[in-house]
Amino acid sequence: MLMQTSEKGRRERQGESMDESATQREHFSRYYARYLVAKRGYRLGALPRSEELLQHCDYVLTSSAGKRISIVGIVNRDSAEGKTFTMPAQDLAALARHVAGSLPAAARLAITIYEIGSCAIGRADKSRLSRHRSHGKNYATKAIAVDVSKRRAWPLPLFGRRFSPAGQMEKLLRAPRLSAAELSGPERAVKSGRPVFVWVLMALLAAVFIAEQVFTFGKTGKPAVPTIETLQVLGGLSYPLVVGEGQWWRLFTAPLLHGDVTHIGFNCLVLLLIGNPLETLIGWRWTAATFSVSAVGGSLMSLAANPVNMVSVGASGGITGMLATALVISFRIPAGAARARLVSQAIYGLVPALLPFLNTAVSGGNIDYGAHFGGAIGGVTVGFLLLGLWPGRLPRPRMGNLAALVAIAFFSIAAGACLPIREHYARQMLLAPDLPAATASSDAAVESLLRAYPRDPRLFFLRAQALLRRNDIQGAERDLRAALADRQLIAEVGGSDFENRVRAVLAALLKNKGEPSEAAAMAGPACAVEKSGPIADYLTKFSLCR
């Protein structure tokens, strides 16, 4: 067994060495043509109306990256003695104008001619090639001489040599040549296929949004807009419930909920635009894992960045992460139209998602930028992980099964949250859907609601305020204590924020009754957390905190 493994490894190393030696033996002009195809997204062939270049060049390659069209002609000077690029300079400029005239108005054409060989670049060569440099409104032409033996290229500008075409050519001349496998790998890196996860996710988001309409509490006065109470009960992200009550499963359910039709519609549109090309590149497993990791990252950042009384929902964290991942891995595929399209889609989605003034100007709504930034961080992290797990010879990233497990864990936790959500829903049914204002004219309405919802702590709090206005201290104390009695229902109506308000009022009542010790004990939990805001002002007004 050990001998077989050793022999296999020896053959593999010998094969790699043969690949490398094959690329070393071939003329650099042919190697450069293969390099442009494999690493820069070029394809062999000339554009219509530019076929005349084929008569003067050994290789003609074309690349389209957005509005920029590039044609490269390569002349192998080593194939025949004294061989050069024979098209007159004025004919090359005329051809460029002719081709550029057939392109869209916003397109710009660049034609670059490379004379590549082992002969020195003489003064006559420089004079001859310099005449091929021309430019017009939407085209430019130039010629570059390459001396393979001395690893030199001409012309080199006085400044910015490293970034000029001749400087890039010298860098390639000095670098070790890629093997045949490395030159062919990127052609297989983009694997076609029909997206599956993106459409399944869109169907899931639509189903969850329909459930929001079916199991809604109260009315907002707008069609298909669930109330805050509905979103909170069905799994919306709330700091008091996640941190205070330990309902961590909301990190997984909140990304599946949406606030209105515009919210889910815009998210599904962006998901469709970026999800299809992303899933085509990395497969459904890694696409699902990208959404899952980014969605959780968005939830965590939302908790850290937003006010504690805010309820956050939406898949935008996960979708922003997919945009960020697409931008990172776009540099994994060869340069060309496919990369340019993916980069533009990612940037067009990321810029408004991360710049508040652009997004607010369009929507005018409350946008959770904490979720967007958290999702982007998660997406960038996954993107760089994919680059490490995606060798040039593979059409898809490795460890797809692990990615599938990550996604399965995310959606399994979200599905398992249906059990606590059902319990929350049952408790929410014990609460009044709409509360009257705390005024004397609403006292009768509060009494009526208490008969229908006898366990709602908010109604006890409202009646206690009414009793205080009538100077019924004993009745008010009774209702304030009743409002604090049911911990589970307190969590449903505002958690610690509601509890601290009730504690502050009850502590002030007890202090006025001449029971300072009990008042201090009642106000203690509120004093520990309320450092600013109306509750803190109320505690200070009555000197309830020690």
Q: Taking the complete model, does pTM exceed 0.75, yes or no?
A: no
* Centroid of chain to Cα 200: 18
Q: Answer whether 264's CB lies under 8 Å from 209's CB.
A: yes
Distinct helix (H) and strand (E) counts, the chain: 24, 9
End-to-end CA distance of the chain: 78
pLDDT > 60? residue 260: yes
Contacts of 215 (CB under 8 A, 6+ apart): 230, 233, 234, 425
Closest CA to 86 of 52, 51, 47, 136: 52
- The rounded distance, in Å, linking the Cα atoms of 28 and 117 is 8
**Whole-number Cα distances in Å, 376 to 327, 381, 449:** 11, 8, 46
* Torsion of Cα atoms, 130 then 134 then 139 then 141, to 10°: -10
Range with lowest mean pLDDT among 108-122, 283-297, 320-334: 320-334
Angle between helices 337-354 and 369-388 (to 10 degrees): 150
Query: What is the rounded CA–CA span in Å between residue 84 and residue 77?
Result: 6
Closest CA to 342 of 64, 107, 62, 66: 66
pLDDT of residue 94: 94
- Position 141 scores a pLDDT of 95
Give pLDDT tens digits for 163-221: 788 889 999 999 988 887 777 644 434 455 678 999 999 999 999 999 999 888 777 66
Q: How confident is the model at residue 6 (pLDDT cuts 50, 70, 90)?
A: very low
Q: What are the CA-CA distances from residue 115 to residues 79, 82, 92, 108, 359 (Å)?
A: 11, 11, 15, 23, 50
* CA 227 – CA 212 distance, rounded (Å): 9
pLDDT of amino acid 134: 94
> Cβ distance 545 to 531 under 8 Å?
no
d(C-alpha 330, C-alpha 324), whole Å? 10
Question: Residues 480-495, buried b or exposed e (16+ Cβ, 10 A)?
Answer: bebbbebeebbbbbbb
Say if strands 108-117 and 59-65 run parallel, antiparallel, or are unpaired. unpaired
Average pLDDT over the chain reads 85
What band does 8 get if pLDDT is binned at 50, 70 and 90?
very low
Per-residue tokens: 86: 């024979």
Give the tens place of pLDDT for each residue, 362-374: 444 578 888 999 9
> Which tokens in the block code for residue 76?
């192998």
How far from the centroid of its chain's Cα atoms is residue 252's Cα? 17
Residue carrying structure tokens 């595929």: 333
What pLDDT is attached to residue 417?
93
Highest mean pLDDT among 285-299, 302-316, 332-346, 431-445: 285-299
**Which of 8-22, 230-244, 325-339, 513-527 shows the lowest mean pLDDT across its residues?**
8-22
Mean pLDDT of 432-436: 79
Residue that wins the pLDDT comparison between 11 and 545: 545
Q: 3-class SS at 308?
A: coil
pLDDT the model gives residue 497 = 84
* Tokens found for residue 61: 């390659």
- Interval 429-439 mean pLDDT: 78
